[in-house]
Amino acid sequence: MNTTSSTNQLTTLLDNQALTRLERLRLQPNRRKTNRTQGEHASGKGGSSTEFADYRNYVPGDDVRFVDWNIFARLNRPYMKLYQYEEVMHVAILVDASNSMKFENKFERARQLAAAMGVTALMGVERVSAYVVGASGEPPRVMPPGSGRASMRRLFDFFERAECGGDAPIDGAVEAMLRRHRGKGMAIVISDFLTPASLARPFNLLYSAGLEIFALQVLGPTEIDPELTGDLRLVDSENGTTVDVSSIDELHGIYHEHREQLQEHVRRQSRTRNGRFLSISSEAPLDWVLFDLLQRQGWLK
């Protein structure tokens, strides 16, 4: 996709033809049922603010007003009553800007995907906010919530100006975002997810905040299938530590096994919270990702 061939382009991230196609697409959340208090804004889609939907187990931190005390009296276990609401959805887009995203076009592709997801959400009259997190201990760059076509220019400016660099792990980036985000809906997390830390805690926090998790992994071609020959010195892109290795065949097998375990961890942490996970190459054609893969996987329609 050529994003710089014309001075009439609306953004350097996506060409105008792609934008026209994106404006006709919509994000497809699983629409996890959540409890809402009266007074939250309804979107006018016809949903009832008191429509009972289902039960689920109580977890610490839940609003006790929604406990079904009749069931508690019979079973001596608390269950939460769930109600289905049709509301304007809040879409939070988080882009990992840590050092490991600098390689093999990963950050550029992440910015393009974030902008594309934002366009589909804005045109779906959802409220969209965006976050870029790079350095630990520093506040994320934030685009405050906006909706509709009027917010599109602000979305493009935000991601066009985003820079990559820092040591913030993705779990820390999620927590930094949640300290500022308000509103239930979706969290689109775009990262390479190259972290030794478990994602259980940050994904639990997203889920508890009422955000459906869409985890989109972007890996470089050599991260997917590295060409390893001779003696190597491996350098950690986040902290600079090095490891010297010489048994290449053994290392190659260990690497693939570790990468697959990492991807399975992200997939499991997403799906057990009714979310989604998808991994792509940073060199995969952008049109194919947006208008083929994401639609076949049910992310866009």
3-state secondary structure 106-170: HHHHHHHHHHHHHHHHHHCCCEEEEEEECCCCCCCEEEEEECCHHHHHHHHHHHHCCCCCCCCCH
Per-residue tokens: 135: 């350095």
> What pTM was estimated for this model as a whole?
0.77
Same domain, 265 and 214: yes
Tell me which residue has tokens 């610490």: 60
Q: Would you state the pLDDT for residue 65?
A: 77
Q: Record the tokens describing residue 142, joined without a space.
A: 């934030």
- Split into its structural domains, the chain has a count of 2
For residue 41, the model assigns a pLDDT of 33
- Examine residue 286 and state whether it is found in any structural domain, yes or no: yes
- Position 49 scores a pLDDT of 46
Examine the domain organization and report whether 143 and 242 are in the same domain: yes
φ and ψ at 299, to 5 degrees? -80, -35
- Domain assignment present for residue 68? The answer is yes
Q: What is the pLDDT of residues 151-194, one digit of tens each?
A: 999 999 999 999 999 888 888 899 889 999 988 999 999 999 99
Structure confidence at residue 10 (pLDDT): 93
Domain shared by 171 and 159, yes or no: yes
| Cα–Cα–Cα angle for 228, 224, 239, rounded to 5 degrees | 75
Domain boundary among 51, 68, 86: 86
Could you say which residues of the chain have pLDDT below 70? 1-7, 31-54, 56, 59-62, 82-87, 228-240, 243-250
Q: What is the pLDDT of residues 12-56, one digit of tens each?
A: 999 999 999 999 999 999 864 444 433 233 333 333 345 666 676
pLDDT of residue 45: 39
Q: Are strands 79-83 and 90-96 parallel, antiparallel or unpaired?
A: unpaired
Which domain covers residue 74, as residue numbers? 32-86
| pLDDT number for residue 196 | 82
* Residues 162, 63: Cα–Cα separation, whole Å: 37
On the CB side of 122, CA atoms within 13 Å amount to 25
The answer on 147 and 79 residing in a single domain is no
Sign of torsion, CA 36 37 41 46? Answer: positive
Do residues 55 and 93 share a domain?
A: no
Q: In terms of domains, do 252 and 165 share one?
A: yes
What pLDDT, on the 0 to 100 scale, is given for residue 168?
Answer: 86
pLDDT for the residue 73:
87
What pLDDT is stored for residue 137 in this prediction? 79
Please tell me whether residues 62 and 145 are part of one structural domain. no
pLDDT of residue 38: 33
